[in-house]
Structure 1
Amino acid sequence: MSESTTIETRNGYGTALAAVINFPEDFDASRTHPAVIVSHPGGGVKEQASGLYAAKLAEQGFVTVAYDASFQGESTGEPRQLENPHIRTEDVSAVVDHLTTLDYVDNARIGAMGICAGAGYSANAAINDPRIKAVGTVSLVNIGQMFRNGWDGSVKDADAAPVLGTGADARTTDAQGKDNPFPLAPMREEDAPNEELRQAWEYYHTPRCEHPNAPGFMTARSLSQIITYDAFHKAEAFLTQPLFVIAGSRAGSKWMSDDLFARAASEDKSFHVVEGANHMELYDGEKEVAEALGKLGPFFADKL
């Protein structure tokens, strides 16, 4: 059972989040339940990976929420497709705000997880917001690291200065009324540098999982916030909640999961590697998703 809802944010930007709340089979509105917020990848929407994980976690006994980020999907906000990481982190806490108003949610048992950039935002939200009591990540991406350092972490911070310049230039042309899209995944198959990122193109731009609300790009001005952003800022001090990290053994992005795991202050943290899986296969691969959920469900049940 599920229902659509709208969540008003208090982030100062006046956005409203379009969300789907999923209920466990034994849901009883007269008692309280644990809840898990599921955040989508950069460029994704709630009808894709986050919705899949949210629905499956509900089957394991949780109230779950999958939502569209501010400025994206069915949520409100201009300019469309803005990927401001600070606001996306705030969105997670905005969902927590909403959950605390629901009589059937136990405020002491709210967890958060995400896929790809949504996992990074979930970690960042938990650093800032101790109301989040447990954190799960799948194919985690720290979007700042990815755009600074490249998919495999091989680029030095300072060498990302031209990309920062692209974001600044886009702000100038935006002010002149021009649109500046910037791809979050390859927009064409021939643009993909490897099989893993070819699958990213396939996921967003073919019947594999394409959705009209997920165009696969962001505003180029977003780069001016992304390049200097660190989803793990002060994790060494404040990410003290139980943490469960999941990544594929063949994921080019795995180094970012390794980094969060090393930096998190939590004394209760676990890392599960899905052998043979790449980054994208944990979005929708039947076997890979089942393995991830087989770990996340018990983790949240134990910690919430």
Structure 2
Amino acid sequence: MKQQCIGFRHRSLFDTVDAADLYKPKNTAGKLPAIAVSGPFGAVKEQASGLYAQTLAEHGFLTIAFDPSFTGESGGQPRSVASPDINTEDFSAAVDYLSTRDDVDPERIGILGICGFGGFAINAAAMDTRIKATVASTMYDICRGTANGYFDANDNADARYEMRKQLNAQRTEDYRNGTYKRTVMNPQPADDAPQFMKDYYDYYKTKRGYHSRSINSGLGWNVTSSLSLLNMPILAYSDEIRSAVLVVHGEKAHSRYFGEDAFKKLKGDNKELYIVPGASHTDLYDNLEKIPFGKIVEFYNQYLK
């Protein structure tokens, strides 16, 4: 397997370059099936997405693990910005690039999103008919989580209005100061903190998964990015996806309801929900004993053949 650093340019919604690592299987010829990988939300390509891309390349797929726009080594200003529109478009920009490579079969392109990018991947599949197979691993619906809180505990108009007031006040302050306030990501959790917060800290803030360019390892998000996530839900047309979709989630993941609810909307006999026994949310970031690569490879072999 050969690894190469590349960049691909957005040309439809805005003009910037996304950075990616490309993995190409050894001793291959002709046009290959290809997969674009990104996530988790707030991570960089050297973390979980690189592991997924490398492993899938070992099974015969040409893969890229990319940094979303405005993060990592990708372009865009201001930094540390997220958007449901832009991050969905990131997948289509990756498909643009893969579709025009001489060593890729444009009729055999898939995508894989991890965590929040699992939701954006399904959203991209609803928009982009060039995508033939989609995997959402340990999926978050970031827009739903932002608007409603975990388990929809804050799903009410008054709570959202107060959030909008705070975020718009921050926009004024940012403009006045010429800076952008950032979130504090994954601080040391208290002893009585929920287990998933301890799991995030263990992945992003220790040698297990820390990376200096990762938003979740310490850089923080631009606070006002939450406005677009709050106001523009994804998955509105996911019930119209005709291509294949595999939703993978951990049995013990706090986020499992995101994947299960997303799957309920999907239609057709080429959709599948796969629950990994005993797995937590972050187990599916890097735990090779839990990530069901055999199932994922089988899925892509079936739908990218």
Compute the TM-score of the two structures, normalised by the length of structure 2: 0.93
Paired residues for 1:42-191 under 5 Å? 42-158=41-157, 159-176=159-176, 177-183=178-184, 185-190=185-190
How much does 1:39 deviate?
1.2
Give structure 2 stretches of 5+ with no counterpart.
none
Shift of 1:259: 1.2
Partners of 1:56 and 1:190 in 2: how far apart?
Answer: 35
Q: C-alpha offsets along residues 9-60 of structure 1, whole Å, 9 cap, x if unaligned?
A: 11443210111111123322xx101001111111100000001001001111
**Partner residue of 1:286 out of 281, 288, 291:** 288
Q: CA RMSD in A?
A: 1.6
Partner amino acid, structure 1, of 2:200: A
The answer to whether the 8 A contact 1:24-1:61 is kept is yes
Structure 2 distance, partners of 1:180, 1:18, is 25
- After superposition, give the CA deviation of every residue in 1:173-216 in whole Å (9 maximum; x if it has no partner): 22121321124x42332398311121112211111101010032
The equivalent residue for 1:34 is: 33
Match of 2:226 in 1: 223
Deviation per CA, 1:146-171: give whole Å up to 9, x if none. 11222333331423332233332222
2:238 paired with 1:235: yes
**Structure 1 counterpart of 2:16, which letter?**
T
Segment of structure 1 superposing worse, 174-183 or 48-57? 174-183
1:26–1:61 contact (8 Å) kept in structure 2 = no
Tell me, yes or no, if the aligned pair for 2:186 and 2:205 is still in contact at 8 Å. Answer: no
2:6–2:21 contact (8 Å) kept in structure 1: yes
TM-score, structure 1 as length reference: 0.93
Gaps of 5+ in 1: none
Q: How does 1:265-304 map to 2 (within 5 A)?
A: 265-289=267-291, 292-304=292-304
- After the TM superposition, which parts of structure 1 deviate over 6 Å for at least 4 consecutive aligned residues? none
**Identity of matched residues, %:** 33
1:250 equivalent among 236, 249, 252: 252
3-state SS, counterpart of residue 233 of structure 2: coil
Amino acid of the structure 1 residue aligned with 2:204: Y
